[in-house]
Structure 1
Amino acid sequence: MRRLTLALFVSLACMVTSTVAAQMQVPAGNRHVEQPAIPGASAKRTKAGKTTFDVKYEKVIELLATDRQLMSKIKKTAADYGIDPIHIVGAIVGEHTYNVDAYDRLQSYYVKAASYAGSSFSFSYKDESIKQFVARPEFSECGNLSDSYLLWTCREMVWEKSFRGKSVAGKSYPNNRFSAVFFQPFYAGQTFGLGQINPLTALMMSDMVAAKSRYPRLDENDAAGVYKAIMEPDISLAYMAAVLRKSIDDYRSIAGMDISHNPGLTATLFNVGSSLQRARALAHKNAGSAEPVWPEENYYGWLVNDRLDELKALL
């Protein structure tokens, strides 16, 4: 993927509300005939749990098919964000097939969320808090961005450009993702709750969720508050919907493509993130192409499109 430079990003952020006049509807279904390769980490996680992808898929389908309270919440949340509920269903199925097992019932997610209540932890790397870290001069380019999505996307780009795998002012930083280094106080690679959302993604979506669902804005200095948002099912669903809504909006306004009728693509973007940068990379490809270059699903989104009739039947 062609990287979006910080200067271009800040320029683009100033035009974030602009919309491409001509929009092409992305064809339904998968672009790949066969499922793209499943990452080894997902396979290893599944094997360690002494289960299979098929078993995990059937388990999450059972949860969605039998828990009418959960399905009602999914439909209500989708309506609040102006998206088809199939997008939320697809993301839940993808996460619980390739990431973690689903619980047998919705109440178990509330119990798990409550187990973190009152915990004392923070977002930091070694002795440097996230508050101290983003106050560094390297982040000055992000200083004029007030929207949470643009602000944290910019900060993530600064991490990639100036800190990842580098030594800065005598301190070495790991060659790893921003979210893994500063936002995972328990163990690497963690995601939690019904939507399996990581804390950095939640911080990005904070403003949209506050505006549409009236939940309090998140504060990176209140790690417990962020975890409450990603683990409590009702709030987690709002953050899922916000991520999906933002992906659709980014592809529409930046790449000129309507992906709202292709749940496999929205599921893919839910899985891989960085929809703004990916939309811009796609727009760049299409600028020099006589025929449309369509976005493609990954292994996760492929499953959603492949099983779409079964998933729609749940609604």
Structure 2
Amino acid sequence: MSAAHATTVVPAGNRNAEQPPIPGASAKRTKKLNTTYEAKYQKIYTLLKTDRNLRSKIKSTAAAYNIDPVHIAGAIIGEHTYNVDAYDQLQTYYVKAISYVKQGVSFEYKGEAVGDFIKRPEFTKCSGLSDSYSLWVCRENIWDAQFRGKTVGGNSYPNNRFAAVFFQPFYAGQTFGLGQISPLTALQMSDMVNRISGLPKLNAENGAQVYKTIMDPDLSLAYMAATIKHSINSYKKYADFDISKNPGITATLYNTGGADARARALAGANAGKPNKQMPQENYYGWLVNSKMDDLKSLF
């Protein structure tokens, strides 16, 4: 890499002096639960602080993916402060993981299984891709371009994300487990997790396996780590930024998704400019950075 394109290390801490706005949906959800963000933060932080076994698993998983465990803890903190409420005990996640296997899960839309849907000719261009991430991102892009909000072959499709239409069979907006991982994200990260952690590859036609994986902390932590590692790799590859020292940025990307597209957009915005715009944390990442002393004390 030439000196002109040397990777810039994003320093620790927040770029924004004040927390960016929190989405209304998060505020509404928190109010409905009759709680506060601070109470939710304390609840998940207490779970992490008091469960030595969980901290040990986070630490060993982070080591396998060559990331600081604070990145994983930060993502867990953010998800349970803003998106869901934590269970009081880790055991509850294991119990629920088994329940999904027993009740059965299928990924479909109006009776058409996603395994059949992706065999349509529109998806032919993805067939040469073997990596799970590239393959599912390709399919997601084709959904957005050719099906989302359109009528194809007499069938109308919602103007909604691929993950929401085909991969949330219980109710819209649902993600699962300690890391609140969506089934589509798990499918994307399957190859990296198989390569690094040795876990079996996931199959979209086996929904129960996917749901058990994202609900079971012993399995889902690897998918969290893989998602974070992918974001770090993407920003280095596409935008020449090393975000590995800033858990608030990786937490932001964990929250928003789309690390590749965001890294490319940032690279485009910075092209030819002497003063590069740094990656920015959102409300979720801002909290993670502001709680860094708490999080570091866990490990």
The counterpart of 2:199, out of the listed 215, 238, 245, is: 215
Q: What CA deviation, in whole Å up to 9, does each residue of 1:138-185 have, x standing for no partner?
A: 212212111001111111111111111111111100011110000001
The counterpart of 1:198, out of the listed 172, 182, 186, is: 182
> 1:294 maps to what in 2?
278
Query: 1:31 and 2:29 equivalent?
Result: no
> 1:285 maps to what in 2?
269
Give the Å deviation of 1:48: 1.0
Contact kept? 2:227, 2:254, Cα under 8 Å? yes
Matches within 5 A, 1:102-117: 102-117=86-101
Query: 1:47 and 2:6 equivalent?
Result: no
Give the Å deviation of 1:117: 2.1
Give the Å deviation of 1:119: 2.0
Count of aligned residue pairs for this structure pair: 296
Q: Which deviates further from its counterpart, 103-112 or 47-56?
A: 103-112
Matches within 5 A, 1:79-228: 79-228=63-212
CA distance in 1 between partners of 2:184 and 2:138 (Å)? 12
Letter in 2 for 1:264: G
Q: What CA deviation, in whole Å up to 9, does each residue of 1:26-76 have, x standing for no partner?
A: 122111111111111111111111111110000011001100000000000
> 2:42 maps to what in 1?
58
Letter in 2 for 1:297: E
Q: What CA deviation, in whole Å up to 9, does each residue of 1:233-280 have, x standing for no partner?
A: 010000000000000001011111100000000000001011111111
Query: 1:275 and 2:259 equivalent?
Result: yes
Give the Å deviation of 1:79: 0.4
Letter in 1 for 2:132: S
Q: Which deviates further from its counterpart, 189-198 or 124-133?
A: 124-133
The 3 A distance-change label for structure 1 pair 53 and 271 is same
Q: What CA deviation, in whole Å up to 9, does each residue of 1:83-103 have, x standing for no partner?
A: 000000000000000011111
CA distance in 2 between partners of 1:23 and 1:38 (Å)? 31
CA distance in 2 between partners of 1:264 and 1:184 (Å)? 27
The counterpart of 2:240, out of the listed 256, 281, 284, is: 256
Contact kept? 2:97, 2:213, Cα under 8 Å? no
CA distance in 1 between partners of 2:222 and 2:207 (Å)? 18
User: Percent of pairs identical after alignment?
Assistant: 63
Structure 1: runs of 5+ lacking an equivalent: 1-19
SS in 2 for 1:115: helix
Q: What CA deviation, in whole Å up to 9, does each residue of 1:278-313 have, x standing for no partner?
A: 111111111132211111011100000111111111
Letter in 1 for 2:50: T
Give the Å deviation of 1:21: 6.0
Letter in 1 for 2:57: K
Q: What CA deviation, in whole Å up to 9, does each residue of 1:90-137 have, x standing for no partner?
A: 000000000111111211211121221222221010021101111112
CA distance in 2 between partners of 1:40 and 1:61 (Å)? 23
Structure 2: runs of 5+ lacking an equivalent: none
